[in-house]
Structure 1
């Protein structure tokens, strides 16, 4: 499958940025299909049930940067369930337990 990457940088008001984050959040809560819009472009992606979330906050002088990264693998459950899994072999019989040796009796000589 070819790699697809779309990058858009724009300047927004705090309210506009918040509205975009809310839109993404609502789409994630509503179902697995999320439509992302930026300007005249839009793309629809199918999001897995389990995600990796990464949050990075960087303060450098007078500039603050917050990065939120959400990533996932495409439906790993469907892939593993379609592959036949071999039945496990019966467990090998355990080796017999070693018995502790009795201490040998010492011969004593009478004096």
Structure 2
């Protein structure tokens, strides 16, 4: 259960089929906007070598790490093959009054 919602940005700050980095406290997140304007959030660092995913390439529902081309389904966090084998943590997001909110847990 999410106990805290953080205001990240206006929904229009993220283009369709794109990713944006968001830092809060000691954590880095990656926020995505799909082609049909749904929003998703994952941990911001690749599970393979801790590279920022926001520097990667978004293709449909996949984020590709810029260093070794590891790929994840950003909707579920699922690692999609070598070199990544550990899934990304995902986080809830919601839209209120044109703002994107990120759910961060305990």
Q: Normalised by the size of structure 2, how large is the TM-score?
A: 0.23
Instruction: Give 1 or 2: higher strand fraction.
Output: 2
Which structure ranks higher in relative contact order (CA pairs < 8 Å, sequence separation ≥ 6)?
Answer: 2
Q: Normalised by the size of structure 1, how large is the TM-score?
A: 0.23
Structure whose CA Rg is larger: 1
Instruction: Give 1 or 2: higher helix fraction.
Output: 1
